[in-house]
Structures are given as structure tokens and as C-alpha cells.
Chains A and B, each alone.
Chain A
Amino acid sequence: MVATHPAPLQVLGLDPQRSPIQAQLEHLLIEGRRAGADLVEVFLERTDHIGVLAEQDRITSVSPSFSMGAGIRVFKGGRDGFVSTDDLGDVGLLKALDQALAMLGLDRSALASGASFEGLQPLRDFGAVKHDWLQRSPDLRTSTDRLLEGTALLERFGQHLEVRRGSYARDWQEVLVAASDGTFARDIRLHQSSGLSVLAADGDHRASIGRRYGSSDRPDDLREWDLEASAAEVCQSAATMLRADYVEGGQMPVVLANRFGGVIFHEACGHLLETTQVERGTTPFADKVGELIAHPAVTAIDEGLSAGAFGSLSMDDEGMEAQRTVLIENGVLQRFLSDRAGEMRTGHARTGSGRRQNHGFAAASRMRNTYIAAGPHKPEALIASIDQGLYCKSMGGGSVGPTGQFNFSVEEGYMIENGKLGKPVKGATLIGEAKEVMPRISMCADDLDLAAGFCGSVSGSIFVTVGQPHVKVDAITVGGR
């Protein structure tokens, strides 16, 4: 019986107008400043999560969880110390502050001269209008009913299905950010993700196909989910891929479909435009602002503003309002995504991109809704321009390594032969290097669309959106058999 979530916080939450928390925060901040910290930031978090899984025609798992915690970060001379704790009592928070100070050689008993703290600014409360979102979200009965409806539709539309699954996760999060520069902001976030997946099997042929959908700040999202369309899409893809051949590897031109095709920009370039990569020296673009780094057909944007998109946010995890950041315009690098530490260490101004999975992580510069802008072409024109190549209709996950080498898998692909779609193929993995592939994105179609996903990196797993119109890559290595 050791961790404490003080009763007022449990009952009243993190709203300073209802909870006696502002004085506690200001106390931590002044103590940190007086100890000699350049800046002290406190991130408080309260979460409420539900995960539901339906298999065949049964609910097989309902997993609720809730948590509270704090992350305290202290900056001094470009360095920082970060301590997270589940103990939000006075003693627990002060202990965490002391640990963070001690990491930087600071001590509350040795008061630094000249340290000042002008107090917190008036609260910017982005959560005020969202106070009832948790209550408005689907309850367990609704959630389980919707998933069972989904698996029943899979049965109706599918053939040779051995496994039918529906999943749903609702993540509600209340955050309060206070920093010794006066930052004082509160938000409530609601993310819902749902998905349908199947395993089709016939003899030695097997295909596992899934689709995931996600939204932010839409309490009615699960209720409004077009289950019939989703189930039909999954079943159609499974039927197509069940007997698909494995792709023959090699270098070839590819057309990547819109929506989740945007994973190519996310992995190949997006991560390399985060200031965490500049700090590490792992991006080839560090000194390329103002230079042509991509084909002139490419304009790329990262923003946190699109209504309902998975990566949208009212404020980032450092209390800064979301922005629209043009990363690349007509092939020319415009700017990097930056957080507080990134601004301090690299000079790139903050872009409202300081994000973290939870209070256990220090914020870092991360993507939000990231996409290649629409171009002038029709999707058919991209395919028609290729004699022999690969059309990637549906993508799996991907990653990028420390030297800029990226990869991502293709879940549903078709060979392109003489400008037309040919036989379906599976088992393709696309690999390349950002510096080489970005100039090869030579055509962008006019059908920009977004898709929800999760991104795991230095500050944990976060909700993001990838997106693009159909794009053509002139040549890329397609791994296969």
C-alpha cells in the first residue's frame, strides 16, 4: 500500500478550478527554480482506458484500466533530468523533483541566487468544452454489441474464414502542464480505435487481413462506424490475397495507394525531420533547410488541426497549441518538427510537436497528422505510366534505422503490367534510404486521404495519422522471394 493518488485528484480530476492542485504545482516550480534549474516542467496525467476484443461471435476480453501519474522535467544548461512517478502525494512529487534536480547536480538546500518565478499564467483550459466526453463515449454494452455486429458481418461477407476478430480501444486522457516559464494548460483527449481482421485459409493458402480505424475527439465515433463497409473491404481483400503469389523481388517502380500509403513518407522522411534526429546526428537533412531534398512534385505537411484525425490535438504535451507545419514545399525543405528540448538544443522553433505516450516519458518532437499534399494527376495516370512495377494497395507497418534506411511491408499488392493492374501479390517489403527515395516520388494524384496509426519512438507509442494521395516512386527495392 504505497502509491498514492490523493483523493481530491481522483474525485475532482486535474481541473485547477475544482482541485487544489495549482498551489502544489507552483510550489514544485518555485522550489525547482530556487534550486537553480533554468526551467521546471510538470506534466500531470489521468487516464481511463477500455479495450474490448470479439472473436468469432463472442466477447473474449474486456480490459479496463485507469492510472494517474506525473512527469517532472528539469532543464539546466541544455541538459535535462526527467523523473516519472505514480505517487502524486506532496511527498511523492517533491521526491521526484529532488531526483530530477540531483541528476543535474542541483539541490533544494543550496538556493541559487537570482532565480525567479513569476507564477503560472492564467489557465488555458482546452478541456473545459470536453468535460463530458468520457461519459458520452460508448459504454461497455454498446462497445461489445458493435464489435459482435462487426464479426457477424465478416461471417456474412467472407469466405474460407477461420478467424474473425473485432477490436476496440477507448483512451481517455486528462493532462495538465505547468512550467516555470508560466505555461499552464489543461486538455482532455479522447482517442478511439477500432478494427476488423480475418484469417482466411484454404488448404495451404492463408491470408491474414486487417483494417484499423481511429479518431480523436469524437465520442460518437464507434456508434457511427460504417461496419458494413469495413467488413466488406476486409473480406474482399482476404478473398483476393488468399491465393496470391509471393512477389518476386527486385528494383522496380511502384505506385502507393492513398491513405496508409503515407507510411512511406512517415518512415522515409518524417522521422528524419524531427529535432530529436538532429540532436542525435542521425538525419541527413540537418543542414538542408532551403534546399531541394525531394522531387518538386512533393509538398509535405505535418499538423495537429484536422478535425477528428487520430493525430490531432488542441495542445501538445508541453502545453503549446497545435499548428500546421509545412515541412517540404515543392521539394524544398522548409522546417523541422520541434519541441522544447529541440528548440533549446538545435535552435529550431517549437512547432507544438512535443508529444509523449504518457507521464512515464519526457516529451519529444514527434509527428501528428503527416501527409504528402495532393497533386494534379488522376490515380489511373500513375499506374498507366508504368510498364512493369508494383501497385501497393494496402500497407503494413514500417520502421526507420539510425542511418536513414527505412522499410515497410505491403499487405495487399498487385503487379502493374503495361500500365494496367495485374495479378495480386503478397510478401513484399519495400526498403530504401530517405535521401534516395524522396527525389523519386515523381507523381502525386489528386486523392489525398488520411489513415490512423500508431508510432513508436523515443517518447513511446503515440496516436498519429499518415496520409497521401496515390504517389508514384520511380524506383525502389522490393524485397520478395
Chain B
Amino acid sequence: MPSPLEVAEMPSTAQTAEAELQPIDVAALRDHLQRYASREGIRQWDLGASRSTSASVQVDRGEAKQLKAAQRSSITVRVWNEQGLVGITSCTDLSPAGLERALAGARDASAFGNSEEIPAFSPLAKAPTPELERPLQPARGIRSLLHTLKDAERQLLARHSAMDTVPYNGLSEGCSERLYLNSEGALRQMQRTQASLYLYARAEEAGRKPRSGGAVRLALGSDQLDVAGCIDEAAKRTISHLAYQPITTGRYLVCFTPEAFLDLLGAFSSMLNARAVLDGVSLSKAESIGEQIAVPFLSVHDNGLHPGHVSAAPFDGEGTPTRRLSLIEQGRLVSFLHSEATARHFGVEPTGHAGLGAKVSVGPDWFEVGTSDGMSSGNSHLHHVRSTDTFVLIEGLNALHAGVKASQGAFSLPFDGWLVQGGERISVESATVAGDIRALLKAIVHLEEPVVTHQGVSPHVWVDGLAITGDA
């Protein structure tokens, strides 16, 4: 049996729960990298680094359930070897020893670099970046977060006797720093703060099945979160699903909420992605630019600079400035999302949608869906609240990771929503919606006024003739 330990004397350093973010020392980072690279004969390199602190709380029926905090750091080093091939390595250690090991790992990996497609520095890595009005917000600390979330849970449960728990909830705040630098002197650096709140309640009435609903809010700081709005939305959604019934299998006029449509568009974003096009896994081809892929009154932009985009960044993983990009105009595909390598292949400029890697990923930032300038659907009578038509209002799509076949265009997804008849909503018990994204984009019959959500901008989108499978 071990004996009780001797306790060494150590100063007590109890601190507030929120940890301050120590900024990355860019000059030291660059000096170390330059020195190691010179020693190893590496003439070209670039690096992406990030560091963050965060705190979050969860509650359960008036009590703290879990309180969490994290300090994270990561770097990705990319090097070009003497044959011009690229290798990368990532690690969580920003110390000199970590950098040295990462650089060595990247050099080793470069022996397996793809000679058919060699990334280069973005030609825009030193171009001016946009000014973002995102003032850093102070952290309130975990005690304050806990108090707010307990109160939010209490208020939400008080809204209806059938709501017994809020099984999924969380309130978090954090601060992060990100930078990009390369051996040609490019330097990008940014800091941001972000807070989030989510409340998903569970409700059950005697003899009936449990139902759930929820809401999410994001803000730059926890003081700015719309807590009351989140409670209100979560309550309304949950309560609205208490009265439910199965739906008859068939084809329906469907209205997607902005959140649901943005989820669907995001799941099929490979059709707008030059990387996926070049890899052959997109529904689009290089020659698809200019094709009519949707109804003429639909336009889609990607706008990482939108004021509602809490996670906005002024540059991407390759240091390319973020900008608003038109993707679909009057239903025609007008541009793809690009990295440096894909842009070079297509003979255009990078668009600010790249990651950082040996094979650079490309992804959307913040979709803006709307009606094309000067156009209309001719179906302005359709409105998700006022319409007297029979339709299915899809509030949220589930299991997108499993039910979307992006390279085939097909989807078959469970959803939460309502059957609306004569303006009266009855929650759909359990059902799926299925179709083909190409057909869907051409079967849109109306777009309402755009709404800014936490994940993008979109109107309620009306689509005719979608297949719904239900239990009735």
C-alpha cells in the first residue's frame, strides 16, 4: 500500500475561470522557422497557426451538469522540397521543438508530394484584406455563463407543463487567434471572440410520444447573445410539435425554412466547388459555368464578410482575402469556389475559400440565397404563415451525413416539420423527404424575403412535388 504523499509547497494560483489568450509571438515564430528551414535547405515554406481559449457550461434541471474550458493550439507547416514537391505536418506544439519536428515531418512527407498538382503561394497572399467590424468582446467567466444558462433553462421549462427537460443545452464563449505566414514575407493575423447558446427541449404529454425542438444563437460575446429570443424560439418550436400525426406518403408542395435550405445547399456545395470538380466528384463539370442549373429567379452568393457572420475571417487558409462571390445568378452557374491551385487551373483568381494542406481543401463560407435582381417567381401568394395552400413546412433536416449522396445529387432525409392545411399546422410524426438537388433547384416555385440566420442568409424556399414518406 503506498504511503500518503508528501506535498511539495507550491504557490496557489487560483484564477478566474476564463483564461486570457496569450498572443502568438509572430516574430519569434518566423525567426525559428526561417532558421530551421535554412538549416535543412528548405527555401519555400508557409505556415498556418491558431490558438484559442474557450469556456462552456451545460445544465440539467437547475444544476450544473458539466463545466468545461480548453486551451488549444495548432500549427500546420508546409514545405516545398528541392524537386518542388509539397509536404505538410500538423501539430499542437508551438514551441521551438514542436516547430522543428513539424518542419522535419513536412520535409519527409514532401517525398510523396503529388507532382501533377503542386500548390503555390496564393498570388493574393499579400493583397489588402477587408476590414471587419468585429470588436473583441470580454469574457464573462464560467460562473456568469452558468447563471445565465440555469436561468434560461428555468424560463424555457416554465413555458409549458409538457416540457420536462432541456437535454441538449450549452452556453460557451471563447477567443481565438489565427495567422498565416510564408517565406516570401506574407503575414496575416486575426483575433476574434465568439459565443454560442443552444437550447433543445424535450416535451411529452401523457400517452403520447416525446417531442423535441430547439434554437441556436451566436454572437461575438456572451453579453450579446439573444438569450430571450433563443428561449422563445425553442419554446415555440417544441410546443408546436406536441400535436402530431403521421403523414401520408406522397408528393407535396414543400416549404423549406431558411435553416433547412441552407443545410441542404451546404450538403451539396460540391457542385459549386472547383476542387470537387477537378476531383470528378461534383455534379458540375468545368464547362458547367454558364449553365442554367436553377430557376431564373434564384441567386446564390458566398459572402464571408456578411455582418451577420459571427465567425467571419478576413483571409482563408492560404492567406487569400475573403470576398463576396457570386455563384449562381438568375439561375445560371457563374463561378466556383477556389483555392490557389484550382484557380490557377481555371485561369481565375483564388476566391478566399481554401484550407491549408498538401492537397488544399475548398469549402463555402457563408451562403446568401435570394431572389435575382428585378425578378420574381410569380407566386407571391405563397407564404409560410399566411398561405392557405396545403404544404409541408420543413423546419430542419436530419442525418445529412448519411442521407445525402452529393456526387449523385440524391437525398433521402428524415425531417422535422409540419403539414399545413388551411393555415393550420400539425407536426409530422416521422417522415423523410427525398429527391434530387438538380431537379429541386429547377422546381423552386417561390422565394420569400431573405432571413439572416446563424448559418447564412436565405428566404423560405418553396419547392413543388417533393416525395415524402410517412407512417400513415
Contact = CB atoms under 8 A, between A and B. Distances in A.
Interface in A115-129: 116-122
Contacts of A478: 469
B12 interface: yes
A2 B73 contact: yes
Given A2-B22, A251-B471, A397-B402, A59 B112 contact: yes
B12 A3 contact: no
Interface residues of B, number: 98
A199 B280 contact: yes
A99 B209 contact: no
28 contacts: A2-B51, A2-B73, A2-B94, A53-B359, A61-B359, A62-B358, A68-B92, A83-B69, A94-B13, A103-B17, A109-B14, A119-B2, A207-B408, A249-B432, A249-B469, A250-B249, A281-B167, A282-B167, A397-B399, A399-B399, A402-B168, A402-B212, A403-B210, A429-B403, A429-B414, A477-B432, A477-B471, A481-B412
B17 A99 contact: yes
B93 A162 contact: no
B454 interface: no
A379 B435 CA distance: 32
Contact of B4 (A103, A116, A249, A427): A116
Contacts of A251: 471
Contacts of B164: 281
A84 B401 CA distance: 28
Interface string A82-98: 11111100001011101
Interface stretch (B23-31, B122-130, B293-301): B23-31
B281 A199 contact: yes
Given A2-B94, A3-B92, A477 B469 contact: yes
Given A85-B71, A250-B249, A280-B167, A69 B92 contact: yes
B95 A55 contact: no
A119 B4 contact: yes
Contacts of B87: 62
B83 interface: no
B167 A409 contact: no
Interface stretch (B57-65, B218-226, B304-312, B377-385): B57-65
A207 B92 CA distance: 39
B158 interface: no
Contacts of A79: 63-67
Interface stretch (B97-105, B182-190, B316-324, B363-371): B97-105
B402 A432 contact: no
Given A79-B66, A99-B19, A409-B399, 9 more contacts: A31-B7, A62-B87, A98-B12, A397-B402, A408-B399, A429-B399, A431-B432, A433-B209, A479-B433
The 7 closest A-B pairs by CB, nearest first: A479-B432, A249-B469, A119-B2, A397-B402, A103-B67, A65-B90, A109-B12
Contacts of B167: 280-282, 402
Nearest to A90: B10
Contacts of A83: 68-71
A143 to B, nearest CB: 9
A208 B407 contact: yes
A119 B6 CA distance: 10
Contacts of A386: none
A80 B66 contact: yes
B5 A407 contact: no
A398 interface: yes
A1 B29 contact: yes
A478 B414 CA distance: 10
B114 A31 contact: no
A396 B402 contact: yes
B84 to A, nearest CB: 16
Interface residues of A, number: 102
Contact of A63 (B29, B32, B90): B90
A108 B412 contact: no
A257 B202 CA distance: 34
B434 A81 contact: no
Contacts of A103: 17, 64, 67, 69, 142
Interface in A24-82: 26-27, 30-31, 34, 52-53, 55, 58-69, 78-82
Contacts of B453: none
Interface stretch (A4-12, A223-231, A466-474): A4-12
Nearest to A85: B71
Contacts of B101: 10, 66
A84 B358 CA distance: 29
A289 interface: no
Interface in B131-147: 142
A206 interface: yes
A427 B437 CA distance: 13
Contacts of B72: 84, 86, 360
B161 interface: no
For B22, B105, B399, the residue with the greatest tally of chain A CB atoms inside 10 Å of its CB is B399
B121 to A, nearest CB: 19
B165 interface: yes
A65 B88 CA distance: 9
B358 A101 contact: no
Contacts of A99: 15, 17, 19, 69
A329 to B, nearest CB: 26
A235 interface: no
A477 B246 CA distance: 11
A481 B111 CA distance: 48
A107 interface: yes
Contacts of A134: none
A370 interface: no
A326 interface: no
Contacts of A246: 410, 434
B69 A140 contact: no
For B71, B87, B164, the residue with the greatest tally of chain A CB atoms inside 10 Å of its CB is B71
Contacts of B117: 60
Contacts of B375: none
A21 B431 CA distance: 54
A213 to B, nearest CB: 19
B91 interface: yes
B415 to A, nearest CB: 10
For A2, A34, A162, the residue with the greatest tally of chain B CB atoms inside 10 Å of its CB is A2
A405 interface: yes
Given A119-B3, A405-B414, A480 B434 contact: yes
Contacts of A52: 112
Contacts of B174: none
Contacts of B409: 206
Given A2-B22, A163-B280, A279-B60, A84 B70 contact: yes
Contacts of A214: none
Nearest to B404: A409
A144 interface: yes
A20 B401 CA distance: 44
Contacts of B249: 249-250
B95 A30 contact: no
A347 interface: no
A370 to B, nearest CB: 18
Contacts of A95: 13, 15, 19
Given A82-B66, A99-B15, A429-B434, A250 B212 contact: no
A362 interface: yes
